[in-house]
A and B are shown apart, each in its own frame.
With several copies, the nearest count.
Chain A
Amino acid sequence: MGGYGDVQLLREDGKRLDGRAVDEMREVEIKAGFLPAAEGSAWVKHGLNVAVAAVYGPMEAHPRKIQRQDRAVIDVRYNMAPFSTSDRIRPGFNRRSREISKVTAEALESVVLVERYPRSKIRVEIEILAAEAGTRCVGITAASVALADAGIPMKDLLVGVASGKIDGIVVLDLDKAEDNYGQADLPMGIMPNTGEIAFLQMDGDLSPEEYDLATEYNFKAAHEIHELMKQALLDSASGGDV
């Protein structure tokens, strides 16, 4: 979070620079079943972000030491393509992508019925092809759809959403400029049916009251995206072409 204050992000009419209201999210487009070689897959465009997810498995977990007797482990790789950002990213994992992969895997393990697949592994590959703030959330959404597309049973579809703070005001779904010059970011992975949170990070500065409002915005957006996810899965099941 920059919090510079020398860039004004809210217009005089209370709208944001791209014309959105404070509680309005960017446009979201979702396709299920995008990658023929994968067992389940999804393509999500969220604003200018593009994320693709592929699912392989359940398969035998190896090396043996990662096996769990009583459940499947989920192996997530969150990866930004070298050309996905303004400055090219060197291929290979970095500390940021390893941390996101870890907490995303733990979030997905909280919603997938992992007890059904003891000693096995489910591979979830998240590839960010274009990044414009909020990629970890877009990746979570894509991963959920890909898991459902692969027929893996889940308690609920997990939806990735974020709110933040710009010019001291809580807003939903920060874009690139808002992320660079805003004062807080609160990404969440929300289970819309149960109302629970499976993914939670935050940085910047939020009072407890601001946190509550940002959470409220996140839940609202999660329900909207949830509808799109379900529709994409329906379209895919009915043979909608990609």
Chain B
Amino acid sequence: MAQMVPQLLRQQLAELASQDKRFDGRGRWDSRDLILETDILYNAEGSAKVVLGDTIVYAGVKFDVASPYSDRPTQGSLMTGAELRPVAHRKYEPGPPSPESIELGRVVDRGIRESGCIDMEALCIVPGEKVWRVMLDLHVLSDRGNIFDACATAAIAAMRTAVVPAERFDVGEDFKLELSSTPIMCSYQRVGGRYVYDACEQEEIGGDERIHITLGDEGHLHSLQKGLRGVLSPAEFTEILAQAGDRCAELRELVHSKEA
């Protein structure tokens, strides 16, 4: 029975789409309100909170000193974790990380990592012996749709305001984690047959596949991911890629505005 309701919802969403309308009245490429705050958590060396409509997520950055990988003796490393804990929605159950949470963490991680914005060499303390490990954790507190973009925005904002706690580890003076660029993710979901930006909870329940695009400062692609059931044509991708270019630029400015 639980699967019947989505079926009715799908019909409703298809009808709305045929009139170029959305469930909550937004235009096809409109975002819900996005509020970004940074540097808000005691004990995190970088932190950010994103409220995107009724979706709330936190990102926190911690550091520790680790041995470098033997094939990259002068490079620090990044580790990204994401937790879809039961706090965030009735649907989430306790237990080992779900495929959904693993995907979330890995897609956000790839967008940041693959943009090359972190100078891993700058995180070397003693070559071959000690490097900084950056530990980025995403914590979803309220899931009402599009946690990917909420998390990715919080993540890059937390990273860009993080301070490496060198004094606490007795390896010199604290310094700002320098990021050379600001990769931004935008996610599109097929709802009622066409793609929309920033799907809300109802659109996710009644929607199909989802495309996550991470773009760098120059508009280059750094990460793509298709999730969920559904297929797309090359032409459809071209359309959302163009939209993503504009929206990423807006979000990049917002992130920059929250750097002290």
Q: Tell whether any CB of A sits under 8 Å from a CB of B in the complex.
A: yes
Q: Which chain A residues have a beta carbon within 8 Å of chain B's beta carbons?
A: 1, 3, 35-39, 48-50, 52, 54, 56, 59, 68-70, 77, 79, 81-88, 91-92, 95-96, 98-99, 101-103, 106-107, 109-111, 123, 125, 127, 129-132, 186, 191, 194-208, 211, 215
Q: Which of B44, B85, B234 contacts A127 (CB 8 A)?
A: B85
Is B197 engaged at the interface, CB distance under 8 Å to the other chain? no
Q: Write out the residue numbers on chain A whose beta carbons fall within 8 Å of the beta carbon of B135.
A: 82-83, 88
Q: Which chain B residues have a beta carbon within 8 Å of chain A's beta carbons?
A: 1, 3-4, 7, 41-44, 47, 54-56, 58, 60-62, 64, 81, 83, 85-90, 94, 96-97, 99-100, 102-103, 105-106, 110, 113-116, 135, 137, 139, 141-144, 168, 209, 211, 216, 218-234, 237, 241
Contact present for A83 and B44 (CB under 8 Å): yes
Q: Write out the residue numbers on chain A whose beta carbons fall within 8 Å of the beta carbon of B44.
A: 83-84, 130
Contact present for B4 and A69 (CB under 8 Å): yes
Q: A35-B142, A110-B231 are in contact. Are A129 and B226 (CB under 8 A)?
A: no
Q: How far is the CB of A138 from chain B (nearest CB, A)?
A: 13
Contact present for A81 and B58 (CB under 8 Å): yes
Q: Which of B141, B225, B231, B232 contacts A35 (CB 8 A)?
A: B141
Contact present for A204 and B222 (CB under 8 Å): yes
Q: Which of A48, A127, A203 contacts B42 (CB 8 A)?
A: A48
Say what secondary structure dominates the interface of chain B.
mixed
Q: A83-B62, A99-B103 are in contact. Are A195 and B233 (CB under 8 A)?
A: yes
Contact present for B54 and A196 (CB under 8 Å): no
Distance in angstroms between the alpha carbons of A195 and B223 in the assembled complex: 22
Q: Which of B47, B106, B211, B228 contacts A106 (CB 8 A)?
A: B228
Q: Which of A52, A54, A206 contacts B220 (CB 8 A)?
A: A206
> Beyond the given A82-B83, A95-B97, A99-B102, could you list 13 further A-B residue pairs with CB under 8 A, ordered by the A residue number?
A36-B142, A83-B41, A83-B44, A91-B137, A110-B229, A123-B86, A125-B86, A129-B139, A130-B42, A197-B226, A203-B113, A205-B114, A207-B220
Distance in angstroms between the alpha carbons of A206 and B220 in the assembled complex: 6
Q: How far is the CB of A226 from chain B (nearest CB, A)?
A: 16
Q: Which of A49, A54, A86, A98 contacts B99 (CB 8 A)?
A: A98
Q: List 9 A-B residue pairs with CB atoms under 8 Å apart, sorted by A's residue number.
A: A35-B87, A35-B142, A56-B86, A86-B43, A91-B137, A109-B229, A127-B85, A201-B225, A206-B221
Q: Which of B142, B223, B225 contacts A38 (CB 8 A)?
A: B142
